[in-house]
Homo-oligomer: A and B are copies of this chain.
Amino acid sequence: MSENFYKYHVFVCTNRRDKLSACDDYDTRSVRDYMKEEMEKRDMHGEGQVRIGQAGCLGRCLSGPVMVIYPQGTWYTFVDQEDIDEIIESHLVNDQPVTRLLIDA
Task: List the interface of chain A (C-beta within 8 A of B).
Answer: 1-2, 4-6, 9, 11, 14, 32, 46-47, 51, 53-60, 68, 70-75, 97, 102, 104
Kindly state the separation between the CA atoms of A97 and B70 in the bound complex, as whole angstroms. Answer: 19
Contact A5 B70 (CB under 8 A): no
Complex Cα spacing A4 to B104, Å: 10
Task: Name the B residues within 8 Å of A104 (CB-CB).
Answer: 1-2, 5
Interface of A is mostly: loop
A75–chain B nearest beta-carbon distance, Å: 7
Are the CB atoms of A74 and B1 closer together than 8 Å?
Answer: yes
The distance in angstroms between the C-alpha atoms of A6 and B96, with both chains bound, is: 23
A71 contact from B51, B57, B71, B102, Cβ within 8 A: B71
Contacts of A51 in B (CB 8 A): 58-59
Contact, CB under 8 Å: A72 / B75: no
Closest to A14 in B: B56
